[in-house]
Amino acid sequence: MLYPQQNSCRSTSSLDGVWNLRFEWDADAAKGWENGFAPEKKVAVPSSFNDLYTSYSERNHWGHVWYGREFEVPDFWRVSGRRVVLRVGSAAYSAEVWLNGVFLGSHETGYTPFEFDITEKVVAGLNRFVLRINTRLTPDSVPQGEIIVNATTGQFVGNHPPGNFDFYPYGGIHRPVVIYTTGERYMESILVDTSVNTSGDADVVFRIQAGGAVATGERVKVVIEESGESAEALLEGGSASVTIRVKSARIWDIGKPELYHARIELVSGGAVADVYRQRFGVRTVRIDGEKFLLNGSPVYFKGFGKHEDFFLIGKGLNDAVNIRDFELMKWVGANSFRTSHYPYAEEVLDLADEMGFLVISESPCVSLVPDQATEKTLATHCAVMREFMLRDYNHPSVVVWCIANEPLSFQEKARPYFEKVVAASRAVDTSRPLMLVTCFGDRDTCLDLVDIIGVNAYPGWYGGGAPFTQNMNWFKGFLNLVRERAGGRPMMMTEFGADCVQGFHMLPSELWTEDYQRDLLKEIISVIRSTGFIIGEHIWAFSDFRTGQNHMRALGNRKGVFTRDRQPKMAAYFLRDIWQDDANKSA
């Protein structure tokens, strides 16, 4: 599925803006709402609906909510030979979709796009578009919700709404909604692979899949805009592979985001039937023992786990917030981040490509309880791995795929479950390593299934307050134990930190103060770096974020080194000092 693009062969039109909304309550008879409904509210798209309203029941609605709007398409879009497509960037958690009362289909998991060909369903004049979104999470879903209490570690017991994870289960249409057109013959997917030889030249392979009726003699032509190099190939069975050698290739690297652009044409009957401009970067990724190599050189990851989370809009895409986040990551000296705990918007990855940040792209499988997972859970997990890996495949910033965060991977059913997830993931891409992020490294049964081990640990916080020496001695032993179990694989600290409330101070430092957060991060990073085998430090978290209501959370998770409105705490200045010092030493 290609991202919508306006060009000489394609037209796009945004459906973002103010839509109608109606909650579906248990007492409602929602029959016929797919043909239109009496709205209760106005809602912004893209955004979460939860923080827009003032009633408790609406903010924490756990179930179905209806979105609707009307639109027109230009008459010239409806001429013979044009194809009209409706694309939703994401709808959380799942959605059923109708156009003019005709059911188009459904989609599950709230972080990947889905689309429908509406060529035969769109009409002249007003078209009525309706989505029934289900925010409820169950043991069948990814992520899970409504888990039986005695199966969990206890951390999320009592969450409201009952998501089995430590962030708020925002619902709604979180990413852009677009209608676009192509010709009857069109390109439906483009995957780009790059390799670099010893002379510095790059072989760039374009794998192209066409859609629509197959015609004989069709071909694809690829031109690299920056160099003028080109090649073409005939379509066979609707697909083609085109290889171009780029001489003395400019390499995409951390802080040096060299990007290329390819113009790809689908030629049918001597005429250009479709065109697409695909951006890519030339870089290599490889595991060497306990090291992660980018372009042949070892990488030490410095950065954060973070969330798509902001005031009022929840998880809704906001370009201004995203730019601010990247500017803060540059300011503090980070080189990477993890899309915890779900695939982020494509627009975020575009910025990472352009600014030279490394990204660990993560699935929405967080805090999975394998012994309560069903065949549907597994099928959904495998499907969403394929969806977001194909979506993000061409981003040079994406260097690792993460299959899950903090699953209960010591349970009896964990290993057979994750064997299938790993197989499904490797069927999509073997050029990037797979990661599993664990907080059970001393008893995890799945570490040997993946290429990189992410370790989450909170010495000095959960059960904290004791002298740092006591906590750090335990931490050193824990890391060495996990290393033994990792079997020579690279290990990375993917979460560590402490909650703190901005403005709280105490000398000597105590829990919840800015002083304690800063001091604890200093101690933990010192231990991490002293090991010699850890390949990175991702602090939890980049900024404070909203969670479900829970007695352990004071109006959300306060582990951010920036506040929720993106202002620095003391810890941010400490990280800036050490990470910029690292950069100066390596310059």
Q: Give pLDDT tens digits for 458-495.
A: 999 987 777 888 899 999 999 999 999 999 999 999 99
Nearest partner of 402 among 373, 348, 366, 443, judged by Cα: 366
What pLDDT does 144 receive? Answer: 93
Among candidates 171, 170, 109, 89, which has minimal Cα distance to 380? 109
Mean pLDDT across 415-422: 98
The reply to whether 76 falls in a domain is yes
Q: Are residues 178 and 200 in the same domain?
A: no
Question: Domain total for the chain?
Answer: 3
Whether 2 is in a domain gets the answer no
- Asked whether the predicted pLDDT for residue 557 surpasses 80, the reply is yes
- The span from the CA of 342 to the CA of 363, in Å, is 5
Give the confidence band of 157 by pLDDT, cuts at 50, 70, 90. low
Report whether pLDDT(362) > 70: yes
Tokens standing for 528? Answer: 């991490």
Q: Residues 241, 301: one domain?
A: no
Q: How far apart are CA 113 and CA 126, in angstroms?
A: 24
Confidence of residue 417 (pLDDT cuts 50, 70, 90): very high
Q: What does the radius of gyration of the chain's CA atoms come to, in whole angstroms? A: 24
pTM: 0.96
| One domain for residues 349 and 454 | yes
CB of 34 within 8 A of CB of 103?
yes
Q: Is 63 exposed, middle or buried (0-12, 13-18, 19+ CB in 10 A)?
A: middle
Residues 94 and 198 in one domain: no
Residues 63 and 109 in one domain: yes
Given the structure tokens 């805009």, which residue do they identify? 225
Question: Rounded to the nearest 5°, which phi and psi values hold at 561?
Answer: -85, -10
Using the 3D structure, point to which of 280, 312, 327 is the last residue of a domain: 280
Question: For residues 271 and 209, what is the distance between their CA atoms, to the nearest angstrom?
Answer: 18
In a domain, 578, yes or no: yes
Domain contains 209: yes
Residues known to be catalytic: 406, 495
What is the rounded distance in angstroms from the CA atom of residue 159 to the CA atom of residue 181?
Answer: 44
The answer on 194 and 175 residing in a single domain is: no
Indicate if 229 and 339 belong to the same structural domain: no
Domain with residue 370: its CATH number is 3.20.20.80
pLDDT at 180: 97
Q: In the structure, what pLDDT confidence band is assigned to residue 213 with cuts at 50, 70 and 90?
A: confident
Q: 531 Cβ partners below 8 Å, 6+ apart?
A: 476, 479, 480, 483
pLDDT computed for residue 147 by the predictor: 86
Q: Please tell me whether residues 533 and 495 are part of one structural domain.
A: yes
By residue count, the chain amounts to 587
Q: And the tokens for 293?
A: 């190599």
Please tell me whether residues 494 and 577 are part of one structural domain.
Answer: yes
Q: Which of 280, 298, 330 marks a domain boundary?
A: 280
Structural domain containing residue 219: 185-280
* 503 inside domain: yes
Specify the 3-state DSSP secondary structure of 432. Answer: coil
* pLDDT at site 275: 98
Residue 122 CB partners (closer than 8 Å, separation 6+): 73, 77, 78, 84, 99, 100
Higher pLDDT, 216 or 426: 426
Residue among 126, 132, 102 nearest 116 (CA): 102
Q: CATH number, domain at 34? A: 2.60.120.260
Is residue 50 within 8 Å of 60, Cβ to Cβ? yes
Q: Does residue 93 have a cis peptide bond before it, meaning omega lies within 30 degrees of 0?
A: yes
* In a domain? residue 5: no
For residue 67, is pLDDT > 90? yes
The one-letter code for the residue type at 35 is N
User: Is 173 contained in some domain?
Assistant: yes
Among the listed residues 575, 507, 517, 568, the one whose alpha carbon sits nearest the alpha carbon of residue 543: 568
Q: Structure tokens of 197?
A: 């030889």
CATH number, domain of 201, equals: 2.60.40.10
Among 182, 202, 234, give the residue marking a domain's end: 182
Say whether both 162 and 191 belong to one domain. Answer: no
pLDDT tens across 464-473, in order?
777 888 899 9
Are both 244 and 339 inside the same structural domain? no
Same domain, 93 and 239: no
pLDDT of 81 > 90? The answer is no
375 domain-assigned: yes
pLDDT score at 149: 58
